[in-house]
Amino acid sequence: MGYLTTHVLDTSLGLPGEGIRIEVYRLEGGERQRITEVVTNDDGRCDAPILEGEAFTVGEYELVFHAGDYLRARGIEAEEPRFLDVIPLRFGVADAGQHYHVPLLLSPYSYSTYRGS
């Protein structure tokens, strides 16, 4: 069975993104259905897969990273409103039998993602 994981790296500090709240949604017919919420650990990862087994199906998903809260907690100053605050990442799962790893590389003024392994 496949599963979904993530990892956050603060590229401005070269450290894992610890304590970042992530909301998880499934998109169906233009509607967002909230599935769960997780928080990254001290390694910038979640302690268990975000979704797995019957909860992880073919379809479209969205991970919503609350980066602004993390940056404020780290004392990273910026003008309000912040350039980056809440970062939604939408992606598709074509084969629910595979591992989908969707990491976030974060700094106060940029982010990137990719399908990892």
Check whether 45 is labelled as a binding-site residue: yes
Cα-Cα-Cα-Cα dihedral sign, residues 79, 11, 113, 16: negative
Judging by DSSP bridges, how do beta strands 104-107 and 59-66 pair with one another?
unpaired
Check whether 99 is labelled as a binding-site residue: no
Residues of the binding site for substrate: 7, 45, 114
Residues of the binding site: 7, 45, 114
